[in-house]
Structure 1
Amino acid sequence: MTSVETRAGQLLIDGEPRLVIAGEIHYFRVPRDEWADRLDLAVEAGCNAVASYIPWLLHELPDGTLDVTGDTRDDRDVGAFIDLCAAKGLWFIARPGPFVMAELMNEGLPFRLYREHPELVPVGWDGVPTGSRTLDYLHPAFLAEVRRWYATVLPRIYQRLAPRGGNVIAVQLDNEVGMLAWVTNSPDLTGHLLADFRDWLDAPARRASTGHTGGTPWPDEPEGPDGTSHGATPWPALAALSPEPDAFARAVRSPEESWAGELRAALPLFMRDRFARYLGALRDLAHEFGVHDVPLLVNLHGTAAGSAEPFPIGISQLVETYSGLPGMVAGSDHYVGEMTLNATTDLYVINAFQAAVNGPDQPLTSVEFEAGSGDYGNGMDVAYDPSTVELKTRLFLAQGNRLINYYLFAGGHNRPLEVPIGDGIDRIAFTGERHGFAAPVGPEGQRGLTFEPTSRAGRTARTLAPWLSRMRPEPDSLQLGLVLDAYASEYHHPGSALMTEITEDLTRHRGAGPRRALARSTLLLGYQFDAVWLERSAPRDDAVLMLSTGRFMDAALQRRLAAWVRGGGRLLLLGRLPEADLAGRGCTVLADALGLRGIGMVWDAAHYFPTARAAGWTKPWPDTRVGWLQRLAVDDSPGAPASEVVLTDCDDIPCGVEVELGRGRVVFLAAELPSNLALFGRVLDRFGVRPRLRLETEVPGVFGLSTVTDNGQRLLHLLNVTGYEPEVVVSFDGLPARRLRLPVRAGVALPVNLATPVGVIEWADAELVDVAADRLAFGPGLAGDASSVRLRGPVTAVEGGTLSVDGEVSVVTGQGPFVLHLPT
Structure 2
Amino acid sequence: MSEIEIKNGSFIISGRPQIIHAAEFHYFRTPENQWESRLKLLKETGFNTVATYIPWLWHEIEEGQFDFDGHSHPMRNLSGFLDLAAQLGLWIIARPGPYIMAETINEGIPKWVFSSYPELSIIDQKGDHLHYLSYLHPQADKLIKAWYKAVFKILNPRQIDHAGKIIMIQLDNEIGMIAWVKNMIDLNPDNLERFTEYLKVTKKRDHSTVWVSEELCHPDQENGRYILQAYSHYYREVISIYAQRLWDIAKACGMTVLPVINIHGFGDQGRSFPIGLSQLLKAIQIKGMVCATDVYPLRIGEDNFHQLLLVNEMTKALQNEDQALFSIEFQAGGNGDFSGSQSSMTDLHTRLCLSSGMKAINHYLFMDGENFPEISPYKRHDWGHPIRKDGSFRSHYYRYPKLTSMMNAYGIALIQAQPVTETTIGFLIDDYMTEYFNKIVKTEHETLRHFRNAIQFDGMARFCTIEHLNFNAIEVQIEDFNPKNTPTLWMMTHDVCPRNVQQKLIDYVHNGGRLIMIGHIPIMDENYDPCMILKDALSVSKIEDPKTDKIDAFQYTDIPVNLIQSVQGDFDHVFAQTKDKEVIGFVKNLNRGKVVFLGAAVPTSTIEDLDVYRQISKLVQLKPSLDSFDWIDMREMSGPLGRFLCLNNYSDDPWMDLITKKGKALFNHRPIELPARSGLILPIDLLIYPDLKLVYSTIELRKIESHKKHIILHFSSEGYVKIESNTYLVDGPVVVDTANQELHLKGTSLTLIKKG
- How many Å separate the matches in 2 of 1:69 and 1:814? 55
- Counterpart for residue 672 of structure 1: 601
**1:247 deviation in Å?**
2.6
- How many Å separate the matches in 2 of 1:793 and 1:503? 64
Contact 2:47–2:404 (CA under 8 A) maintained in structure 1 = yes
Query: Is 1:256 paired with 2:220?
Result: yes
Q: Structure 2 matches for 1:600-619, cutoff 5 A?
A: 600-602=544-546, 610-614=549-553, 619=554
- Counterpart for residue 402 of structure 2: 456
- How many Å separate the matches in 1 of 2:121 and 2:183? 16
State which of 519, 523, 538 in structure 1 corresponds to 2:461.
Answer: 519
Query: Is 1:279 paired with 2:236?
Result: no
- Counterpart for residue 35 of structure 1: 35
- How many Å separate the matches in 1 of 2:88 and 2:148? 27
Query: Is 1:775 paired with 2:732?
Result: no
Query: Is 1:413 paired with 2:379?
Result: no
**1:2 deviation in Å?**
7.6
Query: Is 1:303 paired with 2:266?
Result: yes
Structural RMSD (CA): 2.3
* Amino acid paired to 1:710: P
State which of 698, 718, 723 in structure 2 corresponds to 1:765.
Answer: 698
**1:535 deviation in Å?**
1.6
* Amino acid paired to 2:490: M
- How many Å separate the matches in 2 of 1:400 and 1:515? 20
Q: Structure 2 matches for 1:704-719, cutoff 5 A?
A: 704-710=634-640, 713-719=642-648
Query: Is 1:96 paired with 2:96?
Result: yes
* Amino acid paired to 1:144: K
- How many Å separate the matches in 2 of 1:540 and 1:358? 20
DSSP-derived class of the 1:513 partner: helix
Contact 1:795–1:820 (CA under 8 A) maintained in structure 2 = no
Label 1:602 to 1:408 Cα distance change in 2 as closer, same or farther (>3 A): farther
Label 1:166 to 1:361 Cα distance change in 2 as closer, same or farther (>3 A): same
State which of 323, 339, 346 in structure 2 corresponds to 1:389.
Answer: 346
- Counterpart for residue 573 of structure 1: 517
- Counterpart for residue 557 of structure 1: 501
DSSP-derived class of the 2:436 partner: coil
Contact 2:56–2:109 (CA under 8 A) maintained in structure 1 = yes
Label 1:2 to 1:136 Cα distance change in 2 as closer, same or farther (>3 A): closer
**TM-score, normalised to structure 2's length?**
0.93
In the alignment of these two chains, the number of paired residues is: 741
- Counterpart for residue 341 of structure 1: 302
* Amino acid paired to 1:6: I
Q: Structure 2 matches for 1:498-647, cutoff 5 A?
A: 499-510=441-452, 513=455, 516-542=458-484, 543-596=487-540, 599-602=543-546, 610-614=549-553, 619-633=554-568, 635-636=569-570, 642-647=571-576
Deviations 1:263-306 (A, max 9, x none): 232221111111110001001001000001x210110111115x
Q: Structure 2 matches for 1:794-805, cutoff 5 A?
A: 796-797=729-730, 801-805=734-738
**1:110 deviation in Å?**
0.5
- Counterpart for residue 69 of structure 1: 69
- How many Å separate the matches in 2 of 1:321 and 1:393? 26
- Counterpart for residue 199 of structure 2: 201
**TM-score, normalised to structure 1's length?**
0.86
Deviations 1:399-447 (A, max 9, x none): 1111100000112110122xxxxxxxxxx225x2121341111122222
Contact 1:189–1:253 (CA under 8 A) maintained in structure 2 = no
Contact 2:563–2:601 (CA under 8 A) maintained in structure 1 = yes
Q: Which moved more, 1:74-83 or 1:720-729?
A: 720-729
Contact 1:795–1:810 (CA under 8 A) maintained in structure 2 = no
**1:747 deviation in Å?**
0.9
Contact 1:578–1:587 (CA under 8 A) maintained in structure 2 = yes
Label 1:622 to 1:777 Cα distance change in 2 as closer, same or farther (>3 A): farther
- How many Å separate the matches in 1 of 2:528 and 2:732? 68
Q: Which moved more, 1:269-278 or 1:509-518?
A: 509-518
Deviations 1:305-342 (A, max 9, x none): 5x11111111111121122612x111110111111224
- Counterpart for residue 435 of structure 1: 381
- How many Å separate the matches in 2 of 1:264 and 1:574? 27
**1:134 deviation in Å?**
2.6
* Amino acid paired to 1:620: Q
* Amino acid paired to 2:628: E
- Which consecutive unaligned segments of at least 5 residues does structure 2 have? none
DSSP-derived class of the 1:750 partner: strand
**1:564 deviation in Å?**
2.2
Label 1:500 to 1:790 Cα distance change in 2 as closer, same or farther (>3 A): same
Label 1:582 to 1:184 Cα distance change in 2 as closer, same or farther (>3 A): farther
Deviations 1:180-231 (A, max 9, x none): 1111112223221121112222224xxxxxxxxxxxxxxxxxxxxxxxxxxx
- How many Å separate the matches in 2 of 1:443 and 1:584? 55
- How many Å separate the matches in 1 of 2:745 and 2:542? 60
Deviations 1:363-411 (A, max 9, x none): 1101000012344xxxx57332211111111111111111100000112
Query: Is 1:357 paired with 2:289?
Result: no
Contact 2:264–2:294 (CA under 8 A) maintained in structure 1 = yes
DSSP-derived class of the 1:409 partner: coil
Label 1:80 to 1:762 Cα distance change in 2 as closer, same or farther (>3 A): same
DSSP-derived class of the 1:763 partner: strand
Contact 2:54–2:97 (CA under 8 A) maintained in structure 1 = yes
- How many Å separate the matches in 2 of 1:597 and 1:135? 52
Query: Is 1:398 paired with 2:355?
Result: yes
DSSP-derived class of the 1:509 partner: helix
State which of 477, 481, 485 in structure 1 corresponds to 2:430.
Answer: 485
Deviations 1:634-690 (A, max 9, x none): x23xxxxx4321111232211111111232211111112122432222222221223
Query: Is 1:754 paired with 2:686?
Result: yes
- Counterpart for residue 153 of structure 1: 151
- Counterpart for residue 207 of structure 1: none
- Which consecutive unaligned segments of at least 5 residues does structure 1 have? 205-234, 418-427, 637-641
- How many Å separate the matches in 1 of 2:561 and 2:338? 34
- How many Å separate the matches in 1 of 2:211 and 2:231? 17
**1:798 deviation in Å?**
5.3
Label 1:283 to 1:709 Cα distance change in 2 as closer, same or farther (>3 A): same
- Counterpart for residue 812 of structure 1: 743
**1:548 deviation in Å?**
1.3
* Amino acid paired to 1:725: P
Query: Is 1:740 paired with 2:672?
Result: yes
Contact 1:10–1:402 (CA under 8 A) maintained in structure 2 = yes
**1:85 deviation in Å?**
0.4
Q: Which moved more, 1:594-603 or 1:111-120?
A: 594-603
Contact 1:482–1:511 (CA under 8 A) maintained in structure 2 = no
Q: Which moved more, 1:552-561 or 1:396-405?
A: 552-561
Label 1:751 to 1:106 Cα distance change in 2 as closer, same or farther (>3 A): same
- How many Å separate the matches in 2 of 1:505 and 1:584? 16
DSSP-derived class of the 1:258 partner: coil
- How many Å separate the matches in 1 of 2:744 and 2:488? 41
Label 1:601 to 1:798 Cα distance change in 2 as closer, same or farther (>3 A): farther
Query: Is 1:373 paired with 2:372?
Result: no
Contact 1:508–1:550 (CA under 8 A) maintained in structure 2 = no
Contact 2:275–2:434 (CA under 8 A) maintained in structure 1 = yes
- How many Å separate the matches in 2 of 1:483 and 1:591? 18
* Amino acid paired to 2:122: P
**1:705 deviation in Å?**
1.4
